[in-house]
Amino acid sequence: MTLTPLQLQEFQQNGFLILRNFLEVEKCEAILDVAKAHLKHRIEPIETELGYDEKSLEYRRDVVDYSSIKKESQVRRLRQVYDRDILFKEWMENEKIRPILKQVLDDEVVLTTAHHNSIMTKMPSPHSETSWHQDRRYWSYSDDNLVSVWLALGQENLDNGVLEFIPKSHTMQFLAEQFGEKEYFLEDNPLNMSLIETKVSSNLEAGDVVLFHCKLLHRANRNSTSNPKISFVYTVKGEQTKAEKGSRSAQYREIFLS
Ligand SMILES: O=C(O)CCC(=O)C(=O)O
C-alpha cells in the first residue's frame, strides 16, 4: 500500500496525515489487552504523570534511567514497548505501513527505540493537558527527517485529549522567545497567538493512524472523561539521519526496517 500523490503532498505541506481504519480493530484490541496488563502491573520501564513535567529541559533531553521519577502517580507511558511483547513488535514492524513510511521519509526506514516507543496513556485527570511543543526539541539527530506513527486504540476526541496540530508548523522558523523555559510554544506570546488559531484536530477511532513530523507543533487537552485514553506511538527516521554521538538518542538500538 502506498500514498497517493495527493496524500503525500498533504503530509509534506501540513506535516501530518491521517490514515483511517488502517489497522484491524481486532489487532488494536489485542494490543490494548496487553497494554492494560502492563499498565495494571506497572511493568518497567514506565514514566509517570507526576515527576516528569517538573523535570528540567536537560533532564528530559538526557535521562535514560527513569527509576528516580516518583512511582506513586499514574502511569503516563509504557516505554520501550518494542521489546515488551510480540504484538507491539509486530505493529512496529508492520509491512503494510512500510512503503508509506518510505514515501514520507524519502529514505530507507529505521525504527528509533530511544524516544517514542511507547504506549501513551491519558488518564482522567485535571492535570493531563499537554502544551504546544515540537517533539524534536529533546531529540539529537543530524537532521529533522523523523516521523511519528500514532495509532489510536480507541476513540480519541477533544474531550479525552486527541492530538491537535498546527498545520505547516514543521516548516516554519521560530524565534527563541516564542518558546518557554522547557521549550513549550508559548500561548500568551503575541507572535504565537494567530498561528495557534490555525490549529486543527480530528476525532480518531481504533485503528486510525496519524503520521506527524517531528517538528510539527502539537498539543492535547486533558482527559475530562472518566475513561483512560490509550494510544501507541513510535518514531521512525530515514537511514541517512544519524543520532548524535553521546546523546540520549544514540543510547538505544535502531532497527533497520527496509
Ligand atoms: O497525549 C498527549 O498528551 C500528547 C503526547 C505528546 O504530544 C508527546 O508525547 O509528544
CA-to-CA separations, 103 to 4, 9, 11, 33, 106, in angstroms, rounded: 10, 11, 10, 31, 5
pLDDT in tens, 237-248: 999 999 999 999
Q: Ligand 1: does its nearest atom lie under 6 Å from the Cβ of 122? A: yes
What pTM does this model have?
Answer: 0.92
Q: How big is the CA angle at 73 (ends 72 and 77), to the nearest 5 degrees?
A: 120
pLDDT of residue 73: 77
> Where exactly are the structural domains of the chain?
5-256
* Cα 184 to ligand 1 centroid, rounded to whole Å: 12
- Judge whether 248 and 66 are in contact, CB under 8 Å: no
* Cα 240 to ligand 1 centroid, rounded to whole Å: 26
Tell me the residue length of the chain: 258
pLDDT in tens, 40-91: 999 999 988 765 555 666 665 665 555 545 555 788 999 999 999 999 999 9
- Judge whether 224 and 124 are in contact, CB under 8 Å: yes
The CATH class, in words, for 5-256 is mainly beta
* Kind and range of the H or E run holding 208: none
Q: Beta partners for 47?
A: 77
Q: Which among 200, 81, 209 has a CA at the least distance from the CA of 149?
A: 209
* Cα 43 to ligand 1 centroid, rounded to whole Å: 20
Ligand 1 atom closest to the CA of 229, numbered from 1 = 1
* Cα 132 to ligand 1 centroid, rounded to whole Å: 9
Candidate of 78, 79, 130 to mutate for ligand 1, largest count of ligand atoms within 8 Å of Cβ: 130
Q: Ligand 1: does its nearest atom lie under 6 Å from the Cβ of 220? A: yes
pLDDT in tens, 177-210: 999 988 999 999 999 999 999 999 999 999 999 9
Residue 144 CB-density burial (10 A; 0-12 exposed, 13-18 middle, 19+ buried): middle
Q: Which among 10, 31, 27 has a CA at the least distance from the CA of 167?
A: 10
* Cα 29 to ligand 1 centroid, rounded to whole Å: 21
**CA 136 to CA 183: how far, in whole Å?**
10
Average pLDDT score over the chain: 93
pLDDT of residue 32: 98
- % of the chain at pLDDT higher than 70: 91
Residue 235 CA, distance from chain mean position:
7
